[in-house]
Amino acid sequence: MSLDALLKEVESLKGEYEKFERGNKAAGTRARKNLQEIKKIAQELRTQIQEAKNTETAA
């Protein structure tokens, strides 16, 4: 995963959340799905960063 994937998901969330605020209940479901995907991507990025940090420290 990459930062670009995270940013794409955040943009998608923004659109769905705006629809939800205007009363579209189905958009709320999609927004929650976006949030779950953001959580997954963020965790993967955290792991990648930690591994890179540990590799630099070990070298």
Confidence label for 59 from pLDDT (cuts 50, 70 and 90)? low
Q: Cα angle at 19 between 34 and 9, to 5 degrees?
A: 25
Residue with token string 């927004």: 31
The DSSP annotation for 13-29 comes to HHHHHHHHHTT-HHHHH
Provide the pLDDT confidence category of residue 58 given band limits of 50, 70 and 90: confident
DSSP assigned state of 41: H
Cα dihedral sign for 36, 37, 42, 44? Answer: positive
pLDDT in tens, 28-46: 999 999 999 999 999 999 9
For the entire predicted model, the pTM comes to 0.85
29 vs 31: CA distance, rounded Å:
5
**Rounded mean pLDDT, 45-53:** 95
